[in-house]
Amino acid sequence: MAVHQKSFAVGAGYSDYQIQYSVESDQRSYNNGFFTINKTFLPAKIFYFLFMGSMVSFMPFAPVYMEQLGLNSFQIGIIGATQPVGTLLACPFWGAVADKFSIHRLVVLMGIIVGCTATTATYFTPSSVNATLNSTIEPTPPPLSWDQTYLTFTIMMVLSVVSISFLAEVNAIIDSNILELLKNNPQTDYGRQRVWGAVGWGTFSGLTGLAMDTYIKYYPDGNCFLPAYIIFTAMMAPAVIPVLIMKFPSHTKPESIAVGLFKLFKSIRVLIFLFIATVCGLSLGVISTYQFLFLKELNGPSLVMGLTLTFTCLSEIPFMFISGRLLKFFGHETVFSIALFCYCLRFFLYSILKNPWLILPIELLHGICFGALWPAATSFADKIAPPGMGATVQNLMTAVSLGLGSWHRYHRRGICIQQVRCQNTLLLLWSPLWCYYNFLYCLCSSRSPYEKVQKFSNRLRSALKF
């Protein structure tokens, strides 16, 4: 059996950082007769499981933790509103840095280490109230003056911005790397790797809450958020190991990031794709924000609220797993249209819902809205990326979708919710989304999905003599 030379890199497998080592064979899979393990993608599966499991163990509890520290809703809203801004700015920046200097592995490792450190450090933020942070105290502390909360607010603001600015790019760069590896491994697809992120998310969303309840039961005077921080750190810190052993293919540096982005934004097709990503991100953000408030309006029990998260995770898994086949059968544009239609249908069904328990079958649509859409969006971003700019475009897509979508999560007392009920708000959102879906469907019904828009653009430029 021949011996092949391989290379390991701190950056991305490139000459300045290489350490030569030998392996017995270039075969990257193990078969015991019953199942096959592809060693090339095993680190990716482990990474997605650890990373998404760590994110769900703390991030949903962050606003509640800040409230227990004595911050008011306005201050929590300011901190929350700065995080999407950090995502919008940091994602394209780190993606461009990774592509420009071919240091993808190094950027990912730095993001995990700094992001994990900053998030864990928030546990030591001094509280503005003289009370123990446990679940037995009042959920909302008495109002405090700005002078009393200034130190707590400043520390939480700085650490939150640093954390999101470094963690936001990690997943996108790994996505870009996996898509590059898949070009030489057609026997599998992206969805079968990313599905392990959904497994991690679904597993630890429930385990974290159970750990917090169990901890406070035996230690009533303890900090009920301690288990969340322990699980976050215990999952995020080991995520550097699969990144270190993950294969990063050879990368050709782009001639110019700016020129590549300029050519990208000249394409009507790309602009429509980014707009689709924005609309879907906003839709996801609206659901994340208003869903529990909506169920509260319907007098839904806490059990229903918890089960909605379970149903969304369960619905993601099969669609992530078959996403490659869906793309081959339908194509990217059709999957985008189907996902938008399902968002429209979800909002419409929310608006006529009377029985809170009936939201559970509606949540199964999340499998298409995210489980099928996200692999389609990542693969399409890789498809349109100029040579050597895969990480840049992947981070750009993440910024416009998850960045803008997260913005809604911290506007619980926004104009709509103040003026009308949550159910009416969801009905108002359904109408424009339905119009946009029909617009996109008309585009995708032509032989070339964006041909009509391109022709209209050319005629308009001719008329205006551009």
Please identify which residue in the block is written with the tokens 């828009």. 453
pLDDT of residue 328: 86
Mean pLDDT, rounded, for 9-15: 42
Residue 319 near residue 369, CB atoms below 8 Å = no
pLDDT of residue 86: 86
Higher-pLDDT residue of 17, 231: 231
Q: Residue 247 is encoded by which pair of tokens?
A: 């294969």
pLDDT of residue 337: 83
Please identify which residue in the block is written with the tokens 């103040």. 418
Band of residue 441 on the pLDDT scale cut at 50, 70, 90: low
pLDDT of residue 25: 36
Q: How far apart are CA 41 and CA 265, in angstroms?
A: 32
**Domains of the chain (ranges, CATH numbers):** 34-254 (1.20.1250.20), 267-386+413-466 (1.20.1250)
Closest by Cα among 402, 391, 166 to 257: 391
Q: How far apart are CA 186 and CA 430, in angstroms?
A: 39
Identify any residues that bridge with 36 across adjacent strands, giving them in sequence order: 31
Mean pLDDT, rounded, for 152-158: 92
Say how many C-beta atoms besides its own lie within 10 A of residue 233's C-beta.
18
Mean pLDDT, rounded, for 364-383: 92
pLDDT (tens digit, 9 = 90+) per residue, 192-245? 999 999 999 888 887 888 888 888 888 888 888 899 999 999 999 999 999 999
DSSP 2-59: --EEEEE-SSSS-GGG-EEEEES-S--EEE-SS-EEETTTHHHHHHHHHHHHHHHHHG
Higher-pLDDT residue of 39, 13: 39
Band of residue 276 on the pLDDT scale cut at 50, 70, 90: confident
DSSP 409: G
Confidence check: pLDDT of 128 > 80: no
pLDDT of residue 348: 82
Q: Give the CB-side neighbour count of residue 140, counting CA atoms within 13 A.
A: 4
Q: How far apart are CA 407 and CA 454, in angstroms?
A: 32
pLDDT of residue 138: 44
Q: Residue 200 is encoded by which pair of tokens?
A: 């991690």
Helical ranges in 219-253 per DSSP H: 226-236, 240-245
Higher-pLDDT residue of 451, 155: 155
pLDDT of residue 393: 94
Higher-pLDDT residue of 423, 62: 62
Q: How far apart are CA 255 and CA 311, in angstroms?
A: 46
Q: How far apart are CA 93 and CA 98, in angstroms?
A: 9
Q: How far apart are CA 341 and CA 436, in angstroms?
A: 10
Q: How far apart are CA 129 and CA 110, in angstroms?
A: 34
pLDDT of residue 9: 44
pLDDT (tens digit, 9 = 90+) per residue, 65-116? 888 888 887 788 788 778 888 888 899 999 999 999 999 999 999 999 999 9
Closest by Cα among 234, 187, 164, 189 to 44: 189
pLDDT of residue 438: 55
Mean pLDDT, rounded, for 432-450: 53
pLDDT of residue 166: 95
pLDDT of residue 104: 94
CA 130 to chain centre: 36
pLDDT (tens digit, 9 = 90+) per residue, 376-429? 999 999 999 999 999 999 999 998 887 765 555 555 444 444 444 555 555 555
Output the pTM of the full model. Answer: 0.80
pLDDT of residue 142: 53
